[in-house]
Amino acid sequence: MSPKVFLLPLLLSALLLTACGGGGGSGTAPPSQTAGTLVVSLTDAPSCGFDAVNVTVTKVRVNMNATASETDGGWTDITLSPARKINLLNLANGTLDALGQTALTAGHYTQVRLLLDPNTGNSMANSVVLSSNGSEVSLDTPSAVQSGIKLNADFTVEAGQRYDLVMDFDACKSIVTKGNGRYALKPVVKVVPTALNGISGFVSTALLADGVMVSAQQSGAVIAATVPGSTGEFGLTRLPVGNYDVVITSNSHAAYIVGGVPVNSSTAMVPISTSGAPFTLAASSLMGSISGSAVLAPASATESALLSAKQAIASGPTVTVRYAGADLVTGAYSLGKLPLAAPQYATYSAILPLTFVGATTLPGMGKYKVEAGAAGYTTQSTPSVDINAADATGVNFNLVP
């Protein structure tokens, strides 16, 4: 679920906000020989089981000092007044939402903070809308929301020039359950390239009601993910140059995998299917699930495990078919909608349409490697979980530093 600003000026200019001064940022630009312009946008990756994921942005802060605290000097602020409540799920397939711009002293910047409006009382500043019943539920927010979500950034603003900064807010990884119908925000945000490059394609519109998700992966790690739009078109945008495996999943079909898609340019999209020949997925008559717990020791008030169900294509890549976060309090997790049918695999070719064939998988058809990981804890895995006869339960992990 990931939208951004400057590259779509005709569509997004109405959303561009004038920066308000604060912490060193004033509305008046310094002389052009000493200042440049910073433009900030927000984008997103798809969520898991929600019709909306809302965050309310109040401010973006930048500093040349990578270790500056929120009370130190040297900050330049873009203040959103009033604060803006943004549904991250509207920011898919390369869409950008402009947060604002400000004049910056020319120089090298190494720290960015994104500030959200904290939930207080019955506030719905940050919330999710559940797909199961359409109800809006408030998100518990960590203290980092008030001091700012600290992002890894490293950019230079040249005098008289414009620099575009795009923040990718991963909704799926940022929402964790807390039991008793409660949810918490565990912000996962990264700075991504501004250029609209990456991988594009189409799935059949007949599949759109079946929960299709498309991801770009490297060695089984999800680098970017999205959901197709109403025309079936999808875009895995703003990818670093490299080779990617594209994985297409849905609620009742076999997984489709395109191996070794090359992204050789920071400004071009690589098509893997067309509107005239969209991907049509083969049905999987049987689907299964894997569940259990992933407990952190010592426990964390803000961190939970991320679980991934993986398969390896014989003589091909290892990919993640499903992933989900564990409950923040209990550690409970469930990886559902796992196909028992063999995945369909095609090696990338510039000649379209691609030809898919049923793939032999390791550890075997209807079997998955389950991996559990969390920041600051050692990743663990179970090499072969068999769901051919029945759903697998009690697949448990105890993660330690």
**What is the CATH topology of the domain spanning 195-401?**
Immunoglobulin-like (2.60.40)
Asked if the model's pLDDT at residue 23 lies above 80, the reply is no
Q: What are phi and psi of 235, to 5 degrees?
A: -140, 120
Classify each residue of 273-295 as buried b or exposed e, where b means 16 or more C-beta atoms within 10 Å of its C-beta. beeeebbebeebeebbbbbbbbb
150-171 pLDDT tens trace: 988 899 998 888 888 888 888 7
Per-residue confidence band for 374, with pLDDT thresholds at 50, 70 and 90: very high
Cβ–Cβ under 8 Å, residues 40 and 133: no
Provide the token pair at 284.
Answer: 């999987």
Beta strands at 256-263 and 175-177: parallel, antiparallel or unpaired: unpaired
Q: In the chain, what are the domain boundaries?
A: 9-192, 195-401
Alpha-carbon distances of 158 from 193, 308, 383, rounded to whole Å:
17, 42, 50
The pTM assigned to this predicted structure is 0.80
**Dist. CA 257–CA 349, nearest whole Å:** 13
Residue with tokens 């433009």: 39
| Closest listed residue to residue 45, CA positions, set 7, 89, 82 | 89
Please compute the mean of the pLDDT values over residues 323-327 and round it to a whole number: 94
Asked if the model's pLDDT at residue 101 lies above 80, the reply is yes
- DSSP sequence for 219-265: TTEEEEEE---TTSEEEEESPPSEEEEEEEE-SSB--EEEEEEEE--
* Order of strands across the sheet that contains 242-249: 221-226, 213-218, 242-249, 256-263, 344-347, 357-358
pLDDT of residue 3: 30
Cβ–Cβ under 8 Å, residues 313 and 343: yes
Residue with tokens 């569509």: 11
| Closest listed residue to residue 193, CA positions, set 94, 331, 313 | 94
pLDDT of residue 218: 98
44-80 pLDDT tens trace: 766 677 888 999 999 999 999 999 999 999 999 999 9
Average pLDDT of the chain is 87
Contact partners, residue 63, CB within 8 Å, separation at least 6:
72, 74, 75, 76, 109, 110, 111, 112
